[in-house]
């Protein structure tokens, strides 16, 4: 199982954090304060985890909440500068109920290790349906609203940009409050069955146009079936725009 390692150089009671450099998949945070020697407390564990997750999600659009420390092995740590490696699974990067290890070092020497079990939620804004949307409904601004949701509970292809979704259509029915995702939206077809278009036939020597009727819907670049209204023969062509289809020749 892959493990993500976040290096946190932390004096546990500190509040002034500076984001350090990223190298070899490791993330570094530093705090400059002096700490008295004592037992590691749950609120200190929560601060370490929150700071570690903030190195993965530094953008303002994410909000990190360590809601509960379900369990950890209490350990004593020395005074002075202490570094902490947070080891969690790749899957735990999305939050939820996480399990991992905290490895503490002082002057490059390990001074403590503890298992940790915690609930971490990473909130971000997503697009949800403002009301029920039927299959093939073309999405307008009034059909969408933003909501804050925990990343752990979201599909990987969730959508968050309203402007990018506007004008597309849903491929399935969507209930009110359901998260919109890339897998259920698509560009609406330029052409629909029954549309009248111009059929274009051309090569290096000739260029011919005639009227045609669309037999199946299609988007730009799609190959679709049509009927040549002059010859009444069925032909295949590639959609160029909402008015023109280039016929195979």
pLDDT of amino acid 16: 32
Residues 136, 98, single domain; the answer is no
Domain that holds residue 178: 124-186
Residues 62, 109, single domain; the answer is yes
pTM over 0.95: no
pLDDT of amino acid 37: 64
**Other residues' Cβ atoms within 10 Å of the Cβ of residue 204:** 5
Under 8 Å CB-to-CB from 78, ≥6 apart: which residues?
A: 37, 106, 111
Domain annotation covers residue 155: yes
Under 8 Å CB-to-CB from 164, ≥6 apart: which residues?
A: none
pLDDT, tens digit only, all 249 positions of the chain? 444 444 454 444 333 333 333 433 433 333 332 445 678 888 888 998 998 898 889 888 999 999 999 888 888 888 878 888 888 888 888 999 999 888 888 888 888 888 999 999 999 999 999 999 999 999 999 999 999 999 999 999 999 999 999 999 999 999 999 999 999 999 999 999 999 999 999 888 889 999 999 999 999 999 999 999 999 999 999 999 999 999 987
Residues 90, 7, single domain; the answer is yes
Residues 22, 86, single domain; the answer is yes
- Tokens coding 86: 């947070």
Residues 118, 159, single domain; the answer is no
Q: Cα dist. 111→50, 105, 206 in Å?
A: 22, 5, 82
Domain annotation covers residue 39: yes
The Cα 154–Cα 147 span in angstroms is: 12
Which of 186, 213, 238 is the last residue in one of the domains? 186
Residues 139, 61, single domain; the answer is no
CA-closest candidate to residue 144, choices 166, 171, 173, 169: 166
Question: What is the DSSP code (8-state) at residue 48?
Answer: H
Question: What is the DSSP code (8-state) at residue 152?
Answer: G
Cα-Cα-Cα-Cα torsion 155, 50, 162, 146, nearest 10 degrees, comes to: 90
The Cα 163–Cα 170 span in angstroms is: 15
Residues 19, 113, single domain; the answer is yes
């Amino acid at each position: 199982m892959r493990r993500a390692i976040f290096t946190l150089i932390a004096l546990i009671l500190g509040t002034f954090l500076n984001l350090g450099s990223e190298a070899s998949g490791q993330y570094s945070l530093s705090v400059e304060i002096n700490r008295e020697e004592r037992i590691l407390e749950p609120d200190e564990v929560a601060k370490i985890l929150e700071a570690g997750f903030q190195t993965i999600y530094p953008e303002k659009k994410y909000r990190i909440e360590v809601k509960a420390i379900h369990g950890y092995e209490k350990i004593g740590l020395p005074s002075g500068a202490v570094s902490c490696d947070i080891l969690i699974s790749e899957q735990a990067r999305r939050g939820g109920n996480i399990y991992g290890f905290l490895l503490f070092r002082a002057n490059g020497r390990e001074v403590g290790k503890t298992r940790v079990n915690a609930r971490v939620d990473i909130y971000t804004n997503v697009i949800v349906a403002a009301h029920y949307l039927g299959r093939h409904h073309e999405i307008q601004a009034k059909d969408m609203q933003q909501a804050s949701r925990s990343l752990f509970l979201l599909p990987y292809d969730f959508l968050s940009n309203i402007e990018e979704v506007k004008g597309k259509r849903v491929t399935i029915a969507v209930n009110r409050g359901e998260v919109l995702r890339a897998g259920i939206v698509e560009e609406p077809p330029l052409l629909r069955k029954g549309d009248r278009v111009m059929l274009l036939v051309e090569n290096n020597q000739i260029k011919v146009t005639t009227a045609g009727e669309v037999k199946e819907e299609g988007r730009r670049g799609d190959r679709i079936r049509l009927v040549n209204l002059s010859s009444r023969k069925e032909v295949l062509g590639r959609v160029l725009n909402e008015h023109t289809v280039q016929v195979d020749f």
